[in-house]
């Protein structure tokens, strides 16, 4: 029994020793080949790195796609913006063209009576006379005189027509029409500036002229034009002698939406202009438009009044660009030229506003003003509407006068 126990103990002991040896051997093997244990870990790390690299590549590719899309959108947006800008520019140009055509249409319509009085009669005469001769020139001379171009101006035009016809060897009567248009265009240009000198701010416009010619109405329409251009406008009621002149100017000011500087009726006009200039300076106005009295029964009084106003303007507002506009009524014909001569003696007139041109056949007075007075016509009234006081463009005037399209 004991022997059996010993034998079993030995056997168990041998087995334990064998297990220990195997364990030690495994440990030794592990120590001898450490790479075998590390390799799986390295492979796992490598795989993770490769996955990360792939993810980074995918992210970069996605970013590149997004960047390209953004650039494409920006290009599209730029194209859209360019397209919008071009469209806006085209619309502005179309509006300018439409406005110009609208103005020309109004001008053409406004010159209907004058056109019938000049161009219509010229056409009739040229059809009657086949050849150019002295009798034809006399007929054309009469047409111009009866349209109130004035004797002096008419003689100048006919002499020029006769000379050019001979120089260019024109023998057919119909060919004189183009020649006449050329001469009238040259006469109206005469190196004159027809634009208002109010582009730079501040500016002051003195309106002069006799009562009843449409001076106050012209002031209102000019104020409307300036305000439409975004300018800040102030009016001065310098005609303190005419009954209701101040009230009439206030009505126009309210209609246009501008302020008026005024005194009591009978006050000194120069004092009104002085206060208006101080107000214009303080309020940083772009344009100050001043009404003035238009009494012609006593030239000395007129000269004194306008002289005082001119001194105030020169002293108090030397930095302002200045216009002195003489308002004339086209329906008075040669009478308008006589008025202009008187005003020219008492003040330095820079331009003429010719009103009521649509209501007369005496539009030839435009030629007389340009030739005899050497004063540019700057604005013409061809209707009663707020926008019917137009800039005078000689080329457009001659074209409309002969009933042609611009």
Output the pLDDT for position 211.
83
- DSSP notation for 337-350: HHHHHHHHHHS---
Residue 165 lies in a domain: no
Mean pLDDT value of segment 265-290: 94
Judged by average pLDDT, the poorest of 5-9, 183-187, 332-336 is: 5-9
Helix axes 176-189, 394-401, angle to 10 degrees: 150
Residue 287 lies in a domain: yes
Contacts of 224 (CB under 8 A, 6+ apart): 256, 386, 387
Confidence of residue 5 (pLDDT cuts 50, 70, 90): very low
Residue 336: CATH number of its domain: 3.40.50.300
Angle 212-188-94 from CA coordinates, rounded to 5°? 90
CA 155/CA 327 separation, integer angstroms: 26
Structurally, how many domains does the chain consist of?
1
pLDDT digits (tens, 9 = 90+) for 249-274: 999 999 999 999 999 888 899 999 99
Domain that holds residue 246: 203-349
Confidence of residue 219 (pLDDT cuts 50, 70, 90): very high
Output the pLDDT for position 283.
94
215 or 18, greater pLDDT? 215
Output the pLDDT for position 31.
45
397 or 78, greater pLDDT? 397
* Lookup: tokens for 253: 């000011």
Residue 235 lies in a domain: yes
Q: Is residue 17 predicted with pLDDT exceeding 80? A: no
**Range among 110-114, 128-132, 227-231, 303-307 rated most confident:** 227-231
For 393: left if phi > 0, alpha if psi spans -120 to 50, otherwise beta; the answer is beta
pLDDT digits (tens, 9 = 90+) for 104-145: 677 777 778 888 888 888 889 888 888 888 999 999 999 999
Residue 228 lies in a domain: yes
Output the pLDDT for position 272.
94
Confidence of residue 24 (pLDDT cuts 50, 70, 90): very low
Q: What's the DSSP call for residue 230?
A: T
Q: Is residue 158 predicted with pLDDT exceeding 90? A: yes
Q: Is residue 317 predicted with pLDDT exceeding 80? A: yes
Mean pLDDT value of segment 321-336: 91
Residue 163 lies in a domain: no
pLDDT digits (tens, 9 = 90+) for 351-402: 999 998 888 777 888 888 888 888 889 999 888 888 888 888 888 888 888 8
Q: Is residue 83 predicted with pLDDT exceeding 70? A: no
Mean pLDDT value of segment 238-250: 87
Residue 271 lies in a domain: yes
Task: Encode burial over 269-304: b for 16+ CB neighbours within 10 A, e otherwise.
Answer: bbebbbbbbeebeeeebbbbbbbbbbeeeeeeebee
* Rg of the chain (C-alpha set): 46
CA 383/CA 374 separation, integer angstroms: 26
Average pLDDT score, the chain: 80
Contacts of 129 (CB under 8 A, 6+ apart): 135, 136, 139, 173
Confidence of residue 3 (pLDDT cuts 50, 70, 90): very low
| Sheet with 321-329, edge to edge strand ranges | 259-261, 233-238, 287-292, 203-208, 321-329, 351-355, 377-381, 389-391
The values of phi and psi at residue 9, to 5°, are -65, -45
Torsion of CA 329, 332, 335, 337, to 10 degrees: 40
pLDDT digits (tens, 9 = 90+) for 25-60: 554 454 445 555 556 666 666 666 666 666 666 767
Q: Is residue 97 predicted with pLDDT exceeding 50? A: no
Judged by average pLDDT, the poorest of 90-99, 307-316, 350-359 is: 90-99
Residue 36 lies in a domain: no
Residue 343 lies in a domain: yes
Q: What percent of the chain has pLDDT over 70?
A: 73
């Amino acid at each position: 029994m004991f022997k059996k126990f010993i034998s079993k103990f030995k056997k168990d002991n041998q087995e334990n020793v064998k297990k220990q040896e195997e364990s030690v051997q495994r440990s030794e093997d592990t120590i001898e080949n450490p790479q075998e244990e590390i390799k799986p870990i390295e492979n796992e790390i490598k795989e993770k790195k490769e996955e990360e690299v792939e993810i980074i590549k995918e992210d970069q590719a996605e970013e590149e796609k997004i960047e390209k899309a953004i650039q494409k959108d920006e290009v599209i947006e730029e194209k859209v913006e360019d397209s919008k800008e071009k469209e806006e520019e085209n619309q502005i140009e179309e509006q300018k063209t439409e406005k110009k055509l609208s103005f020309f249409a109004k001008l053409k319509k406004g010159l209907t009576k004058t056109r019938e009085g000049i161009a219509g009669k010229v056409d009739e005469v040229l059809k009657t006379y086949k050849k150019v001769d002295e009798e034809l020139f006399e007929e054309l001379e009469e047409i111009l005189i009866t349209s109130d171009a004035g004797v002096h101006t008419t003689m100048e035009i006919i002499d020029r027509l006769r000379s050019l016809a001979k120089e260019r060897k024109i023998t057919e009567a119909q060919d004189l029409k183009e020649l006449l248009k050329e001469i009238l265009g040259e006469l109206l240009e005469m190196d004159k500036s027809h634009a208002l000198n109010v582009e730079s701010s501040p500016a002051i416009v003195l309106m002069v002229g006799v009562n009843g010619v449409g001076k106050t109405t012209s002031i209102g329409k000019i104020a409307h034009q300036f305000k439409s251009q975004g300018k800040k406008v102030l009016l001065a009621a310098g005609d303190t002698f005419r009954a209701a002149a101040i009230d009439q100017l206030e009505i126009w000011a309210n209609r246009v939406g501008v302020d008026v500087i005024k005194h009591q009726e009978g006050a000194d006009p120069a004092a009104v202009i002085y206060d208006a200039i101080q107000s214009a300076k303080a309020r940083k106005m772009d344009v100050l438009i001043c009404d003035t009295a238009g009494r012609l029964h006593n030239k000395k009084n007129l000269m004194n009044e306008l002289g005082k106003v001119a001194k105030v303007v020169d002293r108090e507002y030397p930095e302002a660009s200045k216009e002195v506009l003489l308002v004339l009524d086209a329906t008075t014909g040669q009478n308008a030229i006589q008025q202009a001569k008187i005003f020219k003696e008492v003040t330095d007139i820079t331009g003429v506003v010719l009103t009521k041109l649509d209501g007369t056949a005496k539009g030839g007075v435009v030629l007389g003003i340009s030739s005899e007075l050497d004063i540019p016509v700057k604005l013409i009234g061809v209707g009663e509407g707020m926008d019917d006081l137009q800039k005078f463009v000689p080329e457009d005037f001659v074209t409309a006068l002969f009933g042609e399209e611009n």
